[in-house]
Each structure stands twice: as structure tokens, then as C-alpha cells.
Structure 1
Amino acid sequence: MNKNINNKNDCIVLLKFCKEKQYAKDIFDGRLYGNTIEFYKKLEDNYNNDIQGDSDEVTYKEKTENLHLLNEKTALKTKITKEYRYTDDDKIPVVCFMGFKIEELKYEDGHYSFPFNDNEINLFKKEFGEYCVMCYKEDIDVLLKEYCTNRFETKYDYNFKKITYMDMSSQEYKEIFESGTSERFFYKNTKYSYQHEYRIVIGMDILNSESRYIEIGNIKSALRFNADKLKELKFILKELKFILLDD
């Protein structure tokens, strides 16, 4: 990492909530589980979970003004929405974190903390899990590059960056979606902006691989703790590690 830890453009602190203690240990050890976009779509479609799930993930929905379905019994008209997706997207692994630039963290009396209130912490615990891992994004960037470009005969395209929140039926997203690039994976509906999401996308078929784990190796800066600790967690940023402060 850049020795000047105060270079705000270079330092991003990641946070991952996990449902099980073992899942947090996996992240700590650099074993990242590759969920698919289909998984997140089904959370909302099948389980009515629109906190973790999003049925609009990597989908362009075109609103039509002139096309309607007519209910013959009630004579009511319903607008038709056209939905477009790339079928192979359901095979591609994604790994999600929360992420914060230095200026997005709270800073007080010489230390940093995460910018959450009690209600947000309770929501994240309930929906995402009570076990947390924090680390520097740059640590994972280095390990991902090694994983995707040097470990296999086939080099995998990958990207790891911040999600942009916007209207997924907008002309802007339509142009991004139609470009056919991986950029379409890095946009979500505005209502999810509280997630502060950073996302890893790797251009491989995770469904037909030997394992759903993306094993990048030990994340040097990683720390594990219970989500309850977030309420009073204070830390100093120092080159490749965090220093936690006691009250």
C-alpha cells in the first residue's frame, strides 16, 4: 500500500458481514465464495428479501408507454415492461463488500470509525450476519491479480470496484447494458445506496468449476470481530494493517 496512508484516493476500507463464524474465517483466509447474480435475483423474487436481493440485478427494464395488457374481466390496463438480460451472466461469480474511502469514515480525536448508526448496525446484523471482517481493498486487488492472471492456463478478466446507484430503466444504463462490457455488473437501483457496495466480478463459469470458492490467499490486513463491536469500534490506519483502540 502507498506509505502515505492519508492519500484518500488510494485507501479504501472494506467491510464484510457474514451469517456464520466459519464464513468470516473463510474471508479472513482469502476464500471468497462466488455467488451468482441469479442467487441475488431469487432472494427478492422467491423469498421477498429486497435487502440482500435485487430482482433487477444486471437487467435492463424498458418501460413502454404504448403497450398494455388488458384484463377482460375488469377492463383495467397494465403497462408492459420489457426485460433484457444476458443468459451467461448467471454463471459469473460476484463477491460483495461494503467499502469506504477515508473521507467517508468518521474521524474524531485522531481515530476512525464506521459511519453507522445503531439502526443501521441492527439491520446489517439481521440481514447480512453478525460476524464481520474488515481489510484494505488494495490487499485484495493484489491477490486477485495473482489469482486471475497467473494461477491458470486461462487468464480470467476481472474487475473490483464501487457500485454506482441509479435508475436501472434509464437511458444511461441502457447504453451501458448494450455495450456488452462488464460495466453492467457495477450498477444497482438507487434504493440500495445504503449498502456502500464494492463488487468483485470474474469472467469465469463458476457453476462448472470444481469449487465455488475463489481462493486468493491470506489477506494480510484482515481483522475479524462481532458486529456488535461496530458500535464502539475505533481504529487507526497504518500501512498494511489496522490498529484497534480500546475505550
Structure 2
Amino acid sequence: MKTADALAGYREYPHVITRGVRQNRRWAMSVTNEPVTAHYATQALTFHGPGFVDEFGTITASGRDAVIAAFQKKASWSKASYCIVWSPSDCTWFDHDGNHRDGKRPPEGIVEDPWLGGRHGVTVEWCWTIELPAGGEWSHLCMRRIDKDLVEIAPGEPMVLANFDEPAHEGLPDPAEGMLAANGSLVAPKFYRGQPVTGIRDEWLLLGPVQAIDDGVILRNPWPDDIRAACEEVAGMSLPRHLIDAAWRAIDPENPEVIYVGVQKAA
């Protein structure tokens, strides 16, 4: 039987969204009437007090007020922005100065918790990818033609769909249940969270399509020599001609009438 703490970890609401350079991140929040050990939420996202939730585990007005007051202070000293999502159509936005306002269209964020992640799909940015020679800091380049005069070239890595290297918790199932071999090792499924699985790293990290990391290079009015310079700057090395040619064709295709979707391999 799951403990009250375990059940709280599976509640969709409330949760916290933080803003990232490319995509938002979603974090679990624990709101209870009595102190508990919340393994799925950081200490900063754990709130408890008499009457904070009702008999059904739904946050009350007093619980909501306590969370809002805490995030007003948190936003002020951290100078970061947050959004508390109370329901599919109710949220509270916090500016970096602590001011807040209510909203009706909550943002979405990447779920990284392995116990919750399997219930939430993952979206990817459409891009062209180029596998780099071994020995560099990054495994790939990611390229996107944003509009006629704007191209993005950024370092890329296979995205982590799940990290199952977590200790077991009483009352919670193994988040990798159904993906384990007889010897207990992780076996990659073909798809997970709506994305193709491309491999396993460090025994427990389930990898997906290549995606750009947060730091990118933006080029305006791109020319072939600018593309080459940017690719080599991001890669940190000189690149062979065939990779440079592939990068150019990714953003200046020979057949511009063809529309490519998803993550495409250029080289």
C-alpha cells in the first residue's frame, strides 16, 4: 500500500515550472498537513501546515496562500521567474522581483522525475543534426533555419528521456518496471515518452533524439563561409569538407519545396 507521501508524489497538481533557455522544466511539489519525507520534491518545494490540503489531498486556500507567500520571497532573492500550476486552467506567475499574477493558460515543462516522467510525453525541436568527429566536447551539431535571414547552429547531444539511477522508495514501484532484463539490467524499448530510444548511457540513462543544448550561435544573413566558421567554432575543431557541405545543404537545401519535419540527420 502506498504511503500518503507516495500518493502525493503522483498528484499532477500543484507543480512548479521554471524557465529554461530552450525549454521549461517541471518540478514536483509536496503540499501536506504534516511533515513528510518528500523524495520526489526538493526541500525548497515542500510545504506543510495544518489545513494545507483537504481530505481528498487537494490544496486548500490556506495552503495556496502559503505557497504563494513562499514563492514571492523565493523569486525576490533568486531573481528568477516561476509559475505555480494549480490545475489545467489555473496558475500563478511570479516575476523575478516577487510580483505575481494569476493566469488561465499554464505553461508546460520537461518532467525529469523518473516516477512521473513515464506519464508525460516529451516534445523535440525540429532540427538537422551532424555527428561530429570523436574527441570534441560535443557529439553533434544541431542546425535550424529559423527564417529567411536567421540560422541557428548549436552544440547537440542525445536527450535524456529518463534517468533510472535512483534509489528505491517504499510504496513506489520501480520506475524502470517492464524494461529490466532477468539480470536486472536496463533494456531499451523502441519508444519511450513518445520518442524513439537511441541508446543507453551509464547503464541507467535512456537516450532519445539529438537536441541542441542551451547555448547556441545565431547567424544573421548566413553565407557559406559564416556557416563553416560557426560550425567549427561550436565544434571546437576544424571539420572535413563533407560535414561543412552537409551543414550548408541543411540550411540551403537543393530542393526547397520539400518540407522536413522532426529531427533529421544531415551527416
Scaled to the shorter chain, the TM-score interval is: under 0.3
Kindly indicate which of the two structures has a greater share of residues assigned to helix.
1
Decide which structure has greater strand share. Answer: 1
Larger radius of gyration: 2
Higher relative contact order (CA closer than 8 Å, sequence separation 6+): 1
Task: Give the TM-score of the pair, scaled to structure 1.
Answer: 0.21
